[in-house]
A and B are shown apart, each in its own frame.
Chain A
Amino acid sequence: MINEADPPLSLDALRSGDRAEFARLVEIYYTPIYRLALKMLAREQDAEDVLQNTFLKALQHIGEFEGRSTLSTWLYRIAANEALMFLRRKRPEVSINDEAEEADDSLPMPEQFTDWCCLPEQEFATAEAKRQLDQAILKLPEKLRVVFLLRDIEGLSIKETSEVLNLTETAVKTRLLRARLALREYLAAYFSERLLSENEK
């Protein structure tokens, strides 16, 4: 979660174009914004572009910020849109607001039933395990990926995530569950193998 710095940012100063106050805003939020972009896009150069575009847009529009959402929600919204636009330029058919698909509320049935929870804890902390976690996120469709990242990596609430993405809370919950179930399948494939080799020892 983002911790607002002490003392709190002054909205009035930000809106009136106070550069030092904007620098404080950047200082507080550049890490989570970069992390979201990197986990969304994987390439460091692309994440840096999204990071810069996010704060350039924020700087451009901070005068219009009405305070109806929090600053972090506002920044996440700009960043999520930038990242999704980037992906859309690469694959034009992706649409984040296509809630019609939510009409089909059936969930894919689980396929992996190996209980890999009992692996020794150090198995989950290896560089390879961490790479698998990141790779699994990238296998998610973009509209599930962004929901998962905001909720489970950035720690936003369901409501905040729905505000960032302009989705209903129900749509956020559905996408979050689909994302988590898909990630469970991807991780199960890897950790089940680890379990096998562990048992062979």
Chain B
Amino acid sequence: MTLHSHTHDMSCQQLLASIGDYVEGDLAPELCQEIERHLAACDHCRVVVDTLNKTITLYHASAHETEVPSEVRGRLFQVLKLDNLREKKS
């Protein structure tokens, strides 16, 4: 891979290869700049990066919505024979 080349413009394929580290904020500043130059000129890649970030944000925001039904919790403590140790939380 020639990702560190500064003489050639980055291709869409090369951008895709670095996109993981880019959205994680794990890329060297020079490579970030190269990506941002590409994004400014390539609408498709800009949409991919924006919607990828949005996808991750939506999942992060939804992460803690799952609630455990109280009977599931109750049966768990029963199976573990811990139900006599802990009062059920209100």
Interface residues of A in 174-191 (CB under 8 A from B): 174, 176-177, 180-181, 183-184, 187-188
A19 to B83, CA, bound (A): 11
A23-B85, A116-B51 given; A52·B63 CB < 8 A: no
Residue of chain B at shortest CB distance from A152: B59
Q: How many residues of A contact B (CB 8 A)?
A: 46
Main secondary structure on A side of the interface with B: helix
Interface contact B51-A188, CB-CB below 8 Å? yes
When the two chains form the complex, which single residue of A39, A114, A152, A183 contacts B60, counting CB atoms closer than 8 Å?
Answer: A152
For B50, list chain A residues within 8 Å (CB): 115, 117
Flag the segment in A30-38, A78-86, A89-97 that touches B.
Answer: A30-38
Q: Give min CB distance, B37 to chain A, whole Å.
A: 19
For A115, list chain B residues within 8 Å (CB): 47, 50-51
B residues adjacent to A (C-beta < 8 A): 13, 16-17, 19-21, 23, 43-44, 47-48, 50-52, 54-56, 58-60, 62-63, 65-69, 72-73, 75-77, 79-80, 82, 85-86, 89
